[in-house]
Amino acid sequence: MIRLLKIARREYVSYLRTPGFWISLCVAPLVLGFALMGGPKALQSAAPPPRLTVIDLTRSGFDRALQPTLSGEPPLAEIVAPPPASTDAGSPEQAIAPLRAALSARGERALDLVVIISGVSTKARVDFWTRDPTTSSLAGLVERAVGDRMRQNRLIAAGLPSNLLKSVDAVQPEVRSFSPRARSERVSFRDQAPTLLALGLAFVLWMAVVTGAGILLNSVIEEKSGRILEVLMSCASIPEILGGKILGVAGLTGTVLAVWGALGLAAVSRTSPHLLGELGGALLSHGLIVWFVLFFAGGYLMYASIFAAIGAFCETSREAQTLLGPLMIVLSIPMVFLSLAQQRPDAPVIVILSWVPLFTPFLMIARIASGLPLWQVAGALLEMAATAAVIMWLCARAFRAGALSGGGKLDVKRLLAAFARPAET
Amino acid sequence: MTPALDLQQVNKRYGDFHAVRDLGFSVEPGTIFGFLGPNGAGKTSTLRMVLGLIPPTSGRITVLGASDPTTVRDRIGFLPEERGLYRRMTPVEAVVFFAGLKGVPAAKAKRRGIELLESQGLGDALNRPMKALSKGMAQKVQLVCALAHDPELVILDEPFSGLDPVNQQGLEELIRGLADRGATVIFSTHVMAHAERLCRRIVLMARGRKVFDGTVREACASATQRLVLEGAITREQALALPGVVSVEAARIEDDGPMRLLADLARDAQPQAALKAAFERGLDLTQFRVEAPTLHEAFIVLTGGAA
């Protein structure tokens, strides 16, 4: 046990000393802070909105109708007045002719988008001319605005007074959400917070597992390529080495999560102190925080053991790629279904996948906040724990074989042979 | 006296490959023991079994009186053939870490580590990261890591490789010092000169089998003696001497006498050849008997398996 702790300490301290650790510790809060403190605005100013001109050949006010949609704060487009040669044209083909050069040009006189509306006020046709054939970001907005205007024109043509039309357009329903599982039946943020938080925790768990297992992989590869593993094995048992390394990296990941969590709490308490209670309640509801810790432990142990075993066979990261590729595909599967697990936690595909031990940590966390029966969560946890134990046992065997092997190409066949007969690999 | 190491009928197979066959030998405590053999002879597999890194397929290994080597790993020091240390660690940190894994308290390990590192001429590099040290310096640091816990049994796998002659001599002195204070040293090497100078006993391996177990003198006796003959003597005259089986090389020195190197048959007596040379009136200016070296014995005993 003392050896295990010494190895864990070395693992922890060695990474604490690297610039990479401090960079990764700071990057996430910096990105989050940037996003919260007006980063999008800064990005907006760095990337000015597209320059657009609207030519309304119907002369029925479509260009004016588009103004409120496209301008605003921040503006979606910079609207440029069209040249008279275009507004006086008799057809869309004639209207675009004077603007073709501007669509191809660069600089201040360049145009990104030309919208030509032709036909009649109740049956209009919209032609989009774009600099780049792949640009279509404003097409949907323009289509809706022109469509609304066409419907209004028809209603006015049918005799509806324009002031009545305006008041009818302003009518909006009062929407209220209820659920028998909400605290006061009416759904509030407090009821949605656990689900949102669970989704966030599942994502954090995935990130932590991938990052931690990746660190472990590189650490083992460094020891393998640096011929250190054999010396370590003469000083400590495989469970001590593997356990120490896993514990050390877990401590490292835990430190990162703790720092991020503390910074997040500080930010929330400063900007929205009323949310602190909500978040605290959400973490405690359905035992979310307890399950998170348990599923984190299981998930981390499973993946860390697999990554470490792979690393023991490799002297370079390139050698590890052969098996890391398929493993990363497996790891990405729960991420694909994470959003669905939050929205429809009882969907059959989610239920089935959440019982697959390799996916359990991520999908179960995302489902827990919906109020799953205890037997489901506990059952999945036990199944995952048993699987983690088997995986760790097999990976310890493979780790021993890999650590003493002479390198060479690593493939599934060789890894399986190491699982089966570590002493003969 | 309980041997420091005892192997009986040890076999190791990797699938269809038989790496070690029916190996048996024992090593007395406090001696320097050479474990020799060409590449692929089974040395590394044997040492790994002795350390408990891999189990034997069959047979029995007793290390420092324990049938399970892992239970006495704190009393063993090991320097593997392929060496390396954590690149970001300093020599002192490395010694403290590895000695710590062997149960030495950090303060004691640090004190002992500094003492050993300074004795190896690394006093100026105590706190420099390993990646800044030369290969030879790093090797010495690793050696210190293997010895800082005062092991009773020291296993050194090719300890001289990569060291310059001055450091090789320093290592020889260190090994002798270990034995003087009572430690048992087992080392494998390709360089027979080191074994010849250091070892009382050797075991020679070839193709997974033990081909010799005894003293260096006994090993050398298995190779043939050689006569160095100088003077006005022809190859034919040399070959006609009793006991001479071949005249391997003849070298004509510029304006000097002819020198012939004549191999004797295993049981041949050099005195008989000398007597015959006098009787035949051969004009010899030098008649010298060269005892076979361990290197020559190695080639004979391994059947040229190297």
Whether A14 and B83 lie within 8 Å, measured CB to CB: no
Residue B296 in domain: no
Place of tokens 């060695």: A14
- Rounded CA gap, A319 and A407, in Å? 9
Whether B88 and A17 lie within 8 Å, measured CB to CB: yes
Domain around B188: 5-217
B47 plus B190 within the same structural domain:
yes
Contacts of B105 (CB under 8 A, 6+ apart): none
Q: Which amino acid is at B118?
A: E
For residue A31, the tally of other CB atoms under 10 A from its CB is 11
What pLDDT shows up at residue B154? 93
- CB of A271 within 8 Å of a chain B CB? The answer is no
What pLDDT shows up at residue B153? 93
B173 plus B274 within the same structural domain:
no
What pLDDT shows up at residue B119? 87
Of the candidates B200, B217, B234, which is a domain's last residue? Answer: B217
- CB of A155 within 8 Å of a chain B CB? The answer is no
- Report whether A206 contacts A358 (CB < 8 A): no
Whether A404 and B51 lie within 8 Å, measured CB to CB: no
- CB of A207 within 8 Å of a chain B CB? The answer is no
B207 plus B283 within the same structural domain:
no
Residue A197 is encoded by which pair of tokens? 């938080």
- Report whether A175 contacts A167 (CB < 8 A): no
For residue A234, the tally of other CB atoms under 10 A from its CB is 25
What pLDDT shows up at residue B254? 62
Of the candidates B199, B217, B235, which is a domain's last residue? Answer: B217
Q: Is the pLDDT of residue B97 over 90?
A: yes
pLDDT band of B246, cuts 50, 70, 90? confident
| pLDDT digits 0-9 by tens, B145-175 | 988 998 999 999 888 887 888 888 888 888 8
- Rounded CA gap, A5 and A14, in Å? 14
Say which CATH number the domain at B77 has: 3.40.50.300
Residue B209 in domain: yes
Whether A424 and B73 lie within 8 Å, measured CB to CB: no
| pLDDT digits 0-9 by tens, B106-157 | 899 999 999 999 988 888 888 898 888 888 888 888 889 988 998 999 999 8
Beta partners for residue B33, in sequence order: B186, B201
Say which CATH number the domain at B272 has: 3.30.70
- Report whether A265 contacts A276 (CB < 8 A): yes
Whether A237 and B145 lie within 8 Å, measured CB to CB: no
Task: Name the domain count of chain B.
Answer: 2
- CB of A408 within 8 Å of a chain B CB? The answer is no
Q: In what order do the strands lie in the sheet with B226-232?
A: B244-252, B258-264, B226-232, B283-290
Distances (CA, A) of B153 to B26, B33, B49, B68: 13, 11, 14, 15
- Report whether A242 contacts A396 (CB < 8 A): yes
B275 plus B142 within the same structural domain:
no
For residue B40, the tally of other CB atoms under 10 A from its CB is 15
Which of B48, B82, B101 would you mutate first to test chain A, the one with the most A CBs within 10 A? B101
Residue B108 in domain: yes
B237 membership: H or E segment, kind and range: helix B235-239
- Rounded CA gap, A375 and A359, in Å? 18
B102 plus B78 within the same structural domain:
yes
B194 plus B244 within the same structural domain:
no
**Alpha-carbon radius of gyration of chain B:** 24
Contacts of A164 (CB under 8 A, 6+ apart): none
B228: left (phi over 0), alpha (psi -120 to 50) or beta: beta
- Rounded CA gap, B95 and B159, in Å? 18
B156 plus B263 within the same structural domain:
no
Residue B128 in domain: yes
Residue B42 in domain: yes
DSSP state for residue B66 in the 8-state scheme = B
What pLDDT shows up at residue A45? 64
B183 plus B258 within the same structural domain:
no
Whether B142 and A6 lie within 8 Å, measured CB to CB: no
| pLDDT above 90 as % of chain B | 23
B16 plus B70 within the same structural domain:
yes
Nearest to A128 by CA among A142, A140, A114: A114
B64 plus B102 within the same structural domain:
yes
Of the candidates B169, B197, B217, which is a domain's last residue? Answer: B217
Residue B62 in domain: yes
- CB of A312 within 8 Å of a chain B CB? The answer is no
B194 plus B154 within the same structural domain:
yes
Q: What are phi and psi of A124, to 5 degrees?
A: -95, 160
- CB of A232 within 8 Å of a chain B CB? The answer is yes
Q: Is the dihedral of CA B160, B164, B165, B166 positive or negative?
A: negative
B13, B48, B101 member nearest A3 (Cβ): B101
Beta partners for residue B289, in sequence order: B227
User: What are the 10-residue block averages of pLDDT along chain A, 425 residues in total?
Assistant: 88 86 81 69 69 88 84 79 86 88 78 88 88 76 88 87 84 83 75 80 86 86 82 88 91 88 84 78 79 88 87 80 83 89 87 91 85 87 92 85 68 64 50
**Cβ-Cβ contacts under 8 Å, A223 against chain B:** 86
- CB of A234 within 8 Å of a chain B CB? The answer is yes
B61 plus B199 within the same structural domain:
yes
pTM for this structure?
A: 0.75
- Enter the ipTM: 0.79
Residue B167 in domain: yes
Residue B298 in domain: no
Q: CA of A378, closest CA in chain B: separation in Å?
A: 38
- Rounded CA gap, A114 and A57, in Å? 13
**Cβ-Cβ contacts under 8 Å, A226 against chain B:** 84-87
